[in-house]
Each structure stands twice: as C-alpha cells, then as structure tokens.
Amino acid sequence: MSTDDSHSQMGQSVGARIRAARQAKKYTQSQLASPDFSVSYISAIERGQIHPSLRALEILARRLDLPSTQLLPQYSQDGRGGGASISSPMNENAVIELALLEAQICILQDEAVQAIAKLGKLADKHLQDRQRTQQRYLLGWAYLHTAQLQKCENALVEAEKLATAQNDTYSSLHTHNLLGLAYAAMHNYHRALQSHQNCLKLLESAQPQDPFFQCQVYNHLGQHYTHLDDFTSAIDMFKQAIAIVEELVAPEHTRSIYWEMSQHYAKTAQYHLAILYSHKCLHLYRQQVNTSLRSEIYHHLGRAMMKAEPEKARAYLEEALQQENNVQDGLTNASITIRLAEWFLVHNQLEEAEHNARQGFELARPFGNTIIAVETLLTWGRIAYAQEKYKEGDEHFVAGLDMLEQLQMLEELADQSASYAQLLDERNRAQEAITYYKRAFESRRKVGVYS
C-alpha cells in the first residue's frame, strides 16, 4: 500500500467516526463546524480527504461530547482495525504515530495514567529515532502529571540525550522546559532555574525563533526566581515575558510567525513540525489568540512587585490598566485590578481595596475557574476580614480554596489553606482552623513534600 493510500485509509476512518458521531447527535455539518471551522472543512474530513489537527480533534470531540481518542481509529492486537492492515512497515509506522498522538491527547485531557499505559506498550516496538525521543518525552510529561517525579526525571533525561544525539533542537528545547517544571515540582528551584536557563540559551540560537515558547520560558524563570526570593530578577523575567506577549496579541502577527516556522521546517525536511505549525496557522485564521498566558504573567509579575517594589507597584499597575490591549482582555484586566486591590489592602485603604476586588471578580467570573479568579476570591476574603466582615470573608475564602482544588493546584492550596487556618485560629475558631490545617497537610502530602 502506498503512503497516500495508507493516509487516505486512516483519514476515512477518522472521518467516518466523526460523521457517525455527528449523525448520532443529529447535528448538521454546519452546526458541528460553527464557529471555528467551515462546512467544507468538516465535509472534507468526513470524506477522508484531509486529516484534522490535534486541536481540531479536541474541539470536535468536545462538541460531540466524546473523548478525543474515540475519534481516532482503533487497532486490535492482531494488527487490524477500522479495516486497515498493519502488515506493511508503512502501516505499522502509522499505528505508532497514532499511538503517540493518542498518548498526547490523554495527557492534555488529564488522563495521564492512560497515556503511561499506551506509551509503555510502545517500548517494545521498533521505533524511529524521532519516535523514541517523543515516546520518552511524552512518558516524562505523563509522569509529571501523576507526580511520579523521579520517573519523570529519568524519562526526560533519556529524551534529552536522544534529542542531542539526533541534533533535534526542537525536542531538546521542550525537554529542558519539562525538566525545569519537574525540578520545580521537586522544590529544587536551583536546578529548575538551570534547566530553563539552558532552554533560553538554546532558544536564542535556534532557528526558527519561537517567541511563544520564549515567553513561557521567561515566565517560568520569573517564578523560579520568586521561589528563590530573588524578586529583582523575577520582575525582570516577567517584564521580558510581557514585552513578548504584547507583540503576540495581534492575530496577523501570530499567524505570520507560525507560517514562517512551518516554511522553515518544510525546507529542512522536518515535515512533522511543518505540518504542526501549518495547522496552528490555519487555526488562528479561525479564532483569536488565547490571552490567558498574558493574564498569568501579570499575576506573577504583580505578586513579585508587591514584595520587591511595593511603592512602585501602584503606579505600574495603574499604567498597565490603561494599556489598550489590557482593557480589551478581561482576564488580564482582572489580574491587574486584583493586584491593585491588594496594594490598597496593604496600605489600609479598605474601601478602595473592596471596590477593586469586586471589580476584579466581575471581570474574572466569565472565564470560569482560573488562577486569576482564585486570587480575586482570596484577596477579597482578606479584605473582608480586615473590614471585620467575617461571614463574607469566609465565603470568599472557601470558594477560592475549592477552586484551587478543582484546578489541582495542590501546592498553592496547601499554602492558602494554612493561611486561612491561621486567620481562623486568631479568631478562636479552633475546630475550623484544624480542618484547614489538615487540608493543607493533605495537599502537601499529595505533592510529595511530606512523603
């Protein structure tokens, strides 16, 4: 079977599954497509003429109320599935690629245990060098999600060695990034810092330049410096990240970068990366850039400034609020507003603090469960306590802590639960304080601090 025939057969299998799921929901192609895709795009997928990207699969699966993996062709132990034989090397390679894709989808859907099982089955397969690197990288990523941190480190170190041997800069970059996150999860912030500094050095010499990834690395570096109490360096890193992300707000600029990256990878015969970035480019023609990263960076920058430069913080935050991009982005606006509320709280201007907290909450609420919404609720709770509005404050604290648990931000949950327990203890509510001290301890235990 030719390469085109193999890909066509897989496309038809995926397309057939999407068509069957759409018909079961009694959706028209137009209903399934809107607002992210065109009807012709959905029609081409269902006919097997094109293969949907990972992001497109996620969106379609969500609309069809299905896990993304259910839309992919399944293969039985004898190597048959969806009518496709895997007797040829080309088909076997396609099955491996699908298995790697399924594992990545599982990780993105917080089903890392399933990803580990799928990746484990690939260990005995005859993998190409690139596939072996990706298998170890994804395994490390999945172990990170399940807090198996030593296994995570081992897998990622192996992935980095494989990537270096293949001169695979793309994989080296992303592996160093994950290693940094793994060391941070181990509370080894010096090694985390070193990993992300290595990442930054690679980025500066890499072609093509990836400003999106560079922005994330600066953000991580800022957080590591914050944990090491080097707030001056942290602020510098966050400002570098903000400078990059402000340039990425314009969709046309972002699309141009993705297209240039796709062209570069095509010219260097790295076709899997060329396809990836062309899909990203196409996706951005259909929707605006997600600005949650910008709001998160402002969140961390504001926190660092409140510790290192509290007197400069108000002027900086008020100036940031006036920037057009931030005015248009509700979540970033909320992030800056709630930090301003904290500034007023610290300076005992409680009426202004409450006003900003309420405004920040209204701005953050439409975005659902986010770290910005958590910060809004907890800050509002502290303001209410300062005003001796204890019942209102308790409601905000409980809501914020519950949201942290839903977001699985266990380390932050431990810190904030302990802080709330201390406030309860100061009000002689010992029994309730014990409950939240226990919650803090249990959260710490889950992230391995006490294990």
Per-residue three-class SS string for 23-46: HHCCCCHHHHHCCCCCHHHHHHHH
Q: Is residue 160 in a domain?
A: no
Per-residue three-class SS string for 117-137: HHHHHHCCCCCCHHHHHHHHH
Nearest-angstrom CA–CA distance, 103 and 119: 7
Q: Is residue 76 in a domain?
A: yes
Q: Is residue 165 in a domain?
A: no
CATH code of 366's domain: 1.25.40.10
DSSP, res 403: H
Let me know: does 254 contact 232? Beta carbons within 8 Å.
Answer: no
Give me 220's structure tokens: 């991580």
- Tell me how many domains the chain contains: 2
Q: Which amino acid is at 330?
A: G
Helix (H) or strand (E) holding 206: none
Q: φ, ψ for residue 269 (rounded to 5)?
A: 65, 20
Task: Render each residue's pLDDT in the chain as its tens digit; 451 residues.
Answer: 444 444 444 445 778 888 888 888 888 888 888 777 777 778 878 877 677 766 677 788 888 888 766 776 554 444 444 444 444 444 677 778 878 888 888 887 788 999 999 999 888 788 888 889 999 999 999 999 999 999 999 999 999 999 999 888 889 999 999 999 999 999 999 999 999 999 999 888 877 777 888 889 999 999 999 999 999 999 999 989 988 877 765 555 566 666 666 666 666 666 566 656 555 655 554 444 445 677 888 888 888 888 877 888 888 888 888 876 666 678 888 999 999 999 999 999 999 999 999 999 999 988 888 999 999 999 999 999 999 999 999 999 999 999 999 988 888 999 999 999 999 999 999 999 999 999 988 888 776 543 3
pLDDT at position 58 is 76
pLDDT at position 295 is 80
pLDDT at position 78 is 42
Report the phi/psi class of residue 82: left, alpha or beta, with left for phi > 0 and alpha for psi in -120 to 50.
Answer: left
Q: Which amino acid is at 434?
A: I
Let me know: does 346 contact 338? Beta carbons within 8 Å.
Answer: no
Instruction: Write down which residue in 109, 129, 156 finishes a domain.
Output: 109
Q: Is residue 250 in a domain?
A: no
Nearest-angstrom CA–CA distance, 55 and 47: 19
CATH code of 93's domain: 1.10.260.40
Q: Which amino acid is at 226?
A: T
Give the CA diameter of the chain: 76
Q: Is residue 274 in a domain?
A: no
- Could you please report the per-residue DSSP string of 156-189? HHHHHHHHHHTT-HHHHHHHHHHHHHHHHHTT-H
Instruction: Write down which residue in 109, 133, 153 finishes a domain.
Output: 109
Let me know: does 336 contact 299? Beta carbons within 8 Å.
Answer: no
Nearest-angstrom CA–CA distance, 227 and 230: 8
Q: Which domain holds residue 40?
A: 1-109
pTM above 0.85, yes or no: no
Instruction: Write down which residue in 70, 88, 109 finishes a domain.
Output: 109
Let me know: does 396 contact 381? Beta carbons within 8 Å.
Answer: yes
Let me know: does 118 contact 106? Beta carbons within 8 Å.
Answer: yes
pLDDT at position 84 is 42
For residue 364, with 0-12 CB atoms within 10 Å meaning exposed, 13-18 middle and 19 or more buried, which class applies?
buried
Let me know: does 321 contact 357? Beta carbons within 8 Å.
Answer: no
The single residue listed with the structure tokens 């580990």 is 116
Let me know: does 420 contact 436? Beta carbons within 8 Å.
Answer: yes
Q: φ, ψ for residue 419 (rounded to 5)?
A: -65, -45
Q: Is residue 253 in a domain?
A: no
Q: Is residue 402 in a domain?
A: yes
Q: Is residue 227 in a domain?
A: no
